[in-house]
Every structure is written in structure tokens, then in C-alpha cells.
Amino acid sequence: MSDPAEASVFFVGNATTVIRCMDFTVLTDPSFLHRGQRAYLGWGISTRRRTNPAIGIVQLPPLDAVVLSHLHGDHWDRYATEGLDKSLPIITTPHAATRLRRKGFRNATGLHTWQNSILRRGDSTLRITALPGRHAPAAARMLVPPVMGSMLQFGRDGDVRLRMHISGDTLLYDRLAEIPQRFPEIDVALVHLGGTTILGVLMTTMDGDQGARWVRLMGAGVTLPIHYDDYEAFASDLDDFRGHVDMLGLSDRVRYIARGETYHVIGHPAGYGAY
């Protein structure tokens, strides 16, 4: 039997987290705007930040990679462009990778759905797989950039010890059912919520109802809600999600962490076998 892996998730704010597992430290969706500053979403659309991040970009630990769900101003901002090492591996969508390489991030890698990228440190490996995501209904998809979810599989000597799923900014739709079919055991999941609304009517991320049903669909050992109150465009708060989670009888599968807090999770004690 393999020793289980231990991972920690430090919640910076919005969709920004610092994930540590085995020999890897990974930053997700780096947004370090301060309260009152605006994130620009394209097409003349912007949203004002309501909160401050738990830490500034200069306080980040040494990083092995960034996982970026998509290129929106509340997921990658000017602080990320100016403050992150240009040689850092960035795993993201092809759309975002092309634009980041133009900004000098030469190791930005774009993945299509189900493609993966593997990082290695000693005998430890991290396989990052791009997963389906839909950031807006079909009629409005041109208003938002392409988005991906991601599966992070941490392993040693070819054996997967821990699986972590990040939803990305997606609505709940039929293709997401393929994720638990391909990855039937997920240790921890991070779900992007907020019911983000642009132009006053268009919802582009899951609200409390969709988020709770996403928790049930993925079946992760534990789910951490993030991306729910940091910007004015968010219309569905954490209490909305909590209420729907309780109605579905899923409260034992969800843990709530505040900005600046760390959640620790233990991987599968027997491992999952080879990738």
C-alpha cells in the first residue's frame, strides 16, 4: 500500500489559491487587485473588487507552476503580469497561452480539453489535465474567453496519490458529466461560484443551485467553494450555495474556508495506480 499524499490549499481570494502537494507549489488564477480596483472583462465590461486578497503577490512562496482557467481580469491581472516570473510554467487554454506568450511568458502552455501536461520534480510528478468548461450560454459565448477546468493528479514513481479538481469559471452543463466518468475518485474539488452576471442579465458562472448540483455530480471527498463574493458582478453569495447544499443533503462533503485560511487534505491511502 502506498503512503497517501498530503496537500494544502491556501485561499488567497476570488479564484486565487496556493496549492502544495509533495514537492510542488502551484498558484491558481492569480488576481491580486485590491478593494475598489476594477477588473476588466473585455467589450467595455468591468467589475469592481469588494475585498482585498489575503496576501500580495510579493508574499507568494517559490512556485512551480500556475494553473489558469481563462484570461479574464479577475483571474489574471496587471499584478500577475508585472510580478510573476516570466519563465514560470503556466498551464491554461490555447487562447490564454497565446496572449501570455506575447507578454513574455515563454512557458505558457495551452491545452485543449482532455489534453495534459506533466511536471516533474525528482520522483514526484504532477499531471494537469484540461477539462470541459462553458463560461456562457451558446448565444453569448463570443463575449467571454474560452475556459477550462483542470484535474491535478499528484504522484510518485508513476502512482497517483491525490486528485484535485478545479472547476474553472463554468456553468453546469451536460459535458461536465464526463469528468467523474473519467476520474471516478476525486479527493478534493474547488468550485467557482458567484452566479457572475454581466450586462445585468447574463449569468456566466454557477450560482448556489448549480454549484450544489455540481458538488453532487463530481462526488469529491470534499469540496471547497471559492469565487463567490469578491467582485460586484457576483450575484449569488455563499449563503445561497450553502442553502442548496443543505437541501441536497451534501453538507458533509463541503468545507468553508475564509481568505487567509488553509485547508489540509489527505490523498487516497492506497493510491490510484498509474496515470
CATH of the domain at 93: 3.60.15.10
Distance CA 192, CA 56 (A): 21
Instruction: Give the pLDDT score at 4.
Output: 76
| Residue in 214, 220, 218, 221 with CA at minimum distance from that of residue 245 | 214
Instruction: Give the pLDDT score at 43.
Output: 62
pTM for this prediction: 0.94
Phi and psi for 28 in degrees, rounded to 5? -110, 145
Q: In terms of residue numbers, what domain contains 247?
A: 5-267
Instruction: Give the pLDDT score at 274.
Output: 65
With respect to residue 275, please indicate whether it lies within any of the assigned structural domains: no
Instruction: Give the pLDDT score at 275.
Output: 61
Distance CA 275, CA 272 (A): 8
Cβ partners under 8 Å of residue 153, min gap 6: 126, 127, 128, 129, 160, 162, 163, 164, 272, 275
Q: Residue holding cell 488553509?
A: 262
> What parts of the chain have a pLDDT lower than 50?
1
Indicate the SS3 state at residue 101.
Answer: helix
Neighbour tally for 137: CB within 10 Å: 12
Distance CA 182, CA 160 (A): 14
* Count: domains in the chain: 1
Torsion-angle region of 184 (φ positive above 0: left; ψ -120 to 50: alpha; else: beta): alpha
With respect to residue 76, please indicate whether it lies within any of the assigned structural domains: yes
Type and span of the H or E element at 41: strand 38-42
**Could you give the dihedral angle defined by the CA atoms of residues 244, 203, 112 and 274, in that order, rounded to the nearest 10 degrees?**
-10
Sign of the dihedral through C-alpha 224, 70, 10, 31: negative
Instruction: Give the pLDDT score at 145.
Output: 84
With respect to residue 205, please indicate whether it lies within any of the assigned structural domains: yes
Distance CA 129, CA 163 (A): 11
Cβ partners under 8 Å of residue 48, min gap 6: 36, 37, 38, 39, 231, 232
**CA–CA distance from 221 to each of 56, 80, 119, 124, 251 (Å)?**
30, 31, 25, 23, 12
Instruction: Give the pLDDT score at 138.
Output: 66
Which three cell numbers mark 42? 473585455
With respect to residue 273, please indicate whether it lies within any of the assigned structural domains: no
Distance CA 123, CA 120 (A): 7
With respect to residue 211, please indicate whether it lies within any of the assigned structural domains: yes
Instruction: Give the pLDDT score at 1.
Output: 43
Cβ partners under 8 Å of residue 138, min gap 6: none
Indicate the SS3 state at residue 180.
Answer: helix
